[in-house]
């Protein structure tokens, strides 16, 4: 691992002499492994639905169990590590994911499925806040690019889950999920090395100074309003993508009569489009400004989401690819915008945006599952098509937010 140029000097969190992209790349790869293991859960929904006789509402509750533990704990973890940085907490989080995979693979009833999902979610809640801080610390000032590179690892991992499910889990069954615990062990080794680098940086907690807020007229009200708007925007994005990814395979099977494996491959393609959109959005946010990217990435998806329920199989694939790219490009811009508002609260902000907003998206997925049982998945997609219109709240974001463009 590359050492800091000033290893003996304590410096405020978030400041390094130059970019340490070997660390960012390692974190991105660990993010890939983490989210790949998490994405195995929705990828096996068609299998467990048939094996356990579940309805769509129960499938939604499994998503809810995962996302609630992955969301509600994240702000708490973030606030704790803002005060007391934990270089090796990522290793502990990955160990919980390992246990969750074993439980999920050996589950014999619905309750154990819920417990396995909750354990994997808890591992995720520990991973994201501190790894976001480390990526920002190693960015050398290119915050948007570093966050998008970190995020694209997670998006790629989410895309690989359905692919692995199609070629490993579907042919070999639920028990094969336990074998992915080896992946968790590999991630733990990588994160142990990152933790050693992080400890050498001597990260001292930064006392709360609204550095961004000062540029917004030193108004805490403005900062609070901006954060509230960003949470709404994240909700609109995650509510739609959570509902789409949770039920996309069922939608393709029911409407177009594709096989389970083909549906998994198409889910993989949709998730790959999100990874590409995230990387592009982070780079453009550094170049053209976060607010402009947020406007485009959320509101720009509306025409395509409205057309989706009426599309043929070919155009469904095309439209979901475009939707995935456009909507995913928002995340790096939203997260860096928020981190610029409160630079001394990296863990709390990361926990809030990875956690609470994802949890709200999962709650909507559970509600949509119940609605699908009462009506149909096509009706659900008709309703979800209007969620991106919440992106109009971008109007209330301050246009003079700090560090919107690269220096």
User: Which pLDDT band holds residue 407 (cuts at 50, 70, 90)?
Assistant: very low
Domains along the chain with CATH numbers: 21-396 (1.20.1250.20)
Q: Which two tokens stand for residue 373?
A: 């049982």
The pLDDT value recorded for residue 97 is 92
The DSSP secondary-structure symbol of 86 reads -
Q: CA 180 to CA 199: how far, in whole Å?
A: 29
Residue 374 CB neighbours (<10 A):
10
The pLDDT value recorded for residue 14 is 40
Q: pLDDT tens-digit profile of 317-343?
A: 999 999 988 888 887 888 888 877 877
* Coil, strand or helix at 14: coil
Q: pLDDT tens-digit profile of 4-61?
A: 333 333 444 444 444 477 888 899 999 999 988 887 887 678 778 888 888 878 887 8
Q: Is the pLDDT of residue 102 over 60?
A: yes
- Spatial CA neighbour of 50 closest among 192, 202, 170: 170
| Helices and strands, number each (H, E), in the chain | 18, 0
Q: pLDDT tens-digit profile of 254-294?
A: 889 988 778 878 888 888 888 788 878 777 777 777 788 88
Q: Which position has the token pair 């889910």?
A: 267
Q: CA 322 to CA 329: how far, in whole Å?
A: 11
Integer CA distances (angstroms), 238 to 215, 296, 381, in order: 29, 16, 14
Q: Is the pLDDT of residue 378 over 90?
A: no
User: Which pLDDT band holds residue 357 (cuts at 50, 70, 90)?
Assistant: low
Instruction: Answer whether 329's CB lies under 8 Å from 278's CB.
Output: yes
Integer CA distances (angstroms), 82 to 74, 87, 207, 212, 284, in order: 12, 12, 9, 17, 29
Residue 85 — φ and ψ, nearest 5°?
-55, 135
- Spatial CA neighbour of 181 closest among 327, 294, 33: 33
């Amino acid at each position: 691992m590359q050492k800091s140029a000033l290893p003996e000097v304590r410096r405020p969190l978030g400041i390094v002499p130059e970019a340490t992209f070997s660390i960012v790349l390692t974190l991105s790869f660990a993010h890939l492994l983490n989210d790949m293991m998490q994405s195995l859960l929705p990828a096996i929904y068609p299998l467990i639905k048939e094996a356990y006789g579940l309805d769509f509402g129960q499938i939604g509750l499994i998503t809810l169990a995962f996302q609630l533990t992955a969301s509600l704990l994240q702000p708490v973890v973030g606030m704790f590590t803002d005060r007391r940085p934990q270089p090796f907490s990522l290793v502990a989080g990955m160990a919980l994911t390992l246990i969750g995979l074993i439980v999920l693979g050996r589950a014999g009833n619905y309750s154990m499925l819920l417990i396995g999902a909750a354990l994997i979610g808890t591992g995720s809640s520990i991973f994201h806040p501190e790894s976001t801080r480390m990526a920002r610390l190693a960015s050398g000032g290119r915050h948007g690019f570093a966050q998008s590179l970190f995020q694209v690892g997670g998006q790629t991992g989410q895309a690989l889950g359905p692919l692995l499910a199609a070629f490993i889990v579907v042919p070999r069954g639920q028990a094969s999920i336990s074998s992915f615990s080896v992946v968790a062990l590999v991630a733990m080794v990588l994160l142990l090395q990152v933790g050693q680098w992080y400890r050498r940086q001597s990260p001292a907690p930064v006392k709360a100074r609204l550095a961004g807020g000062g540029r917004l007229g030193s108004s805490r009200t403005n900062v609070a309003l901006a954060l509230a708007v960003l949470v709404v925007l994240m909700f609109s994005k995650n509510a739609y993508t959570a509902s789409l990814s949770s039920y996309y395979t069922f939608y393709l099977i029911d409407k177009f009569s594709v096989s389970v494996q083909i549906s998994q491959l198409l889910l993989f393609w949709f998730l790959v489009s999100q990874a590409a959109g995230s990387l592009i959005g982070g780079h453009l946010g550094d170049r053209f400004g976060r607010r402009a990217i947020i406007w485009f990435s959320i509101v720009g998806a509306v025409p395509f989401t409205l057309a989706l329920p009426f599309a043929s199989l070919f155009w469904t694939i095309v439209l979901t690819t475009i939707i995935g790219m456009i909507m995913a490009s928002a995340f790096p811009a939203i997260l860096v915008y928020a981190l610029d508002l409160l630079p001394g609260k990296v863990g709390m902000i990361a926990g809030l945006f990875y956690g609470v907003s994802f949890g709200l998206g999962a709650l909507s997925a559970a509600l949509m599952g119940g609605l699908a049982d009462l009506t149909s998945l096509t009706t659900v997609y008709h309703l979800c098509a209007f969620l991106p219109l919440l992106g109009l709240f971008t109007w209330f974001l301050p246009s003079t937010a700090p560090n919107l463009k690269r220096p």
